[in-house]
C-alpha cells in the first residue's frame, strides 16, 4: 500500500518542515545578533560621547574659559566680553608678528 508517490510526498513534506525550522532558527539568530550589535554600538557611541564631553570639560576647566551654553550668549561671567578681549589681543599680536616679519624681510633683502 506504500506507493513511491506517497512516499515522495511525505519526504518532501518532512524536508520542507525541516528547512522551514532551520530557516526560522537562522533568521531568529540573525535578528538577535543584529539587535545585540546595535545595542553594543549604541553603548559604544554613548561612552565615546561621554569621553569626548569629559575631555572637553577638562580642557575648558584648564583653560579657565567658561562655556555659557549657547553660542553668542553672555554668561554670568561676561564671557562674550572676555572673548572679544581675547580676539582683540590675538589681532594685536598678529599685527606685531606681521610688522616683525616685514622688518626681517626688508633687512634680509638688503
Q: How far apart are CA 58 and CA 67, in angstroms?
A: 12
Q: How confident is the model at residue 62, as a pLDDT? A: 84
Q: How far apart are CA 50 and CA 30, in angstroms?
A: 30
Q: What cell does 81 get?
A: 566680553
Q: How confident is the model at residue 78, as a pLDDT? A: 52
DSSP class of residue 75 equals: -
Q: How confident is the model at residue 65, as a pLDDT? A: 66
The predicted-structure confidence for 48-93, as pLDDT tens digits, reads as follows 999 999 998 888 888 876 665 555 444 455 566 788 888 889 999 9
pLDDT band (50, 70, 90) for residue 26 = very high
Residue 2 has φ and ψ, to the nearest 5°, of -90, 100
Amino acid at each position: 500500500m506504500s506507493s513511491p508517490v506517497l512516499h515522495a510526498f511525505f519526504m518532501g513534506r518532512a524536508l520542507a518542515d525541516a528547512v522551514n525550522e532551520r530557516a526560522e532558527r537562522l533568521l531568529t539568530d540573525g535578528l538577535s545578533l543584529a539587535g545585540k550589535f546595535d545595542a553594543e554600538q549604541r553603548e559604544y557611541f554613548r561612552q565615546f560621547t561621554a569621553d569626548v564631553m569629559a575631555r572637553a570639560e577638562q580642557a575648558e576647566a584648564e583653560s579657565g574659559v567658561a562655556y555659557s551654553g549657547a553660542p553668542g550668549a553672555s554668561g554670568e561671567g561676561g564671557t562674550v566680553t572676555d572673548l572679544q578681549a581675547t580676539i582683540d589681543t590675538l589681532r594685536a599680536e598678529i599685527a606685531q608678528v606681521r610688522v616683525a616679519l616685514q622688518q626681517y624681510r626688508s633687512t634680509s633683502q638688503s
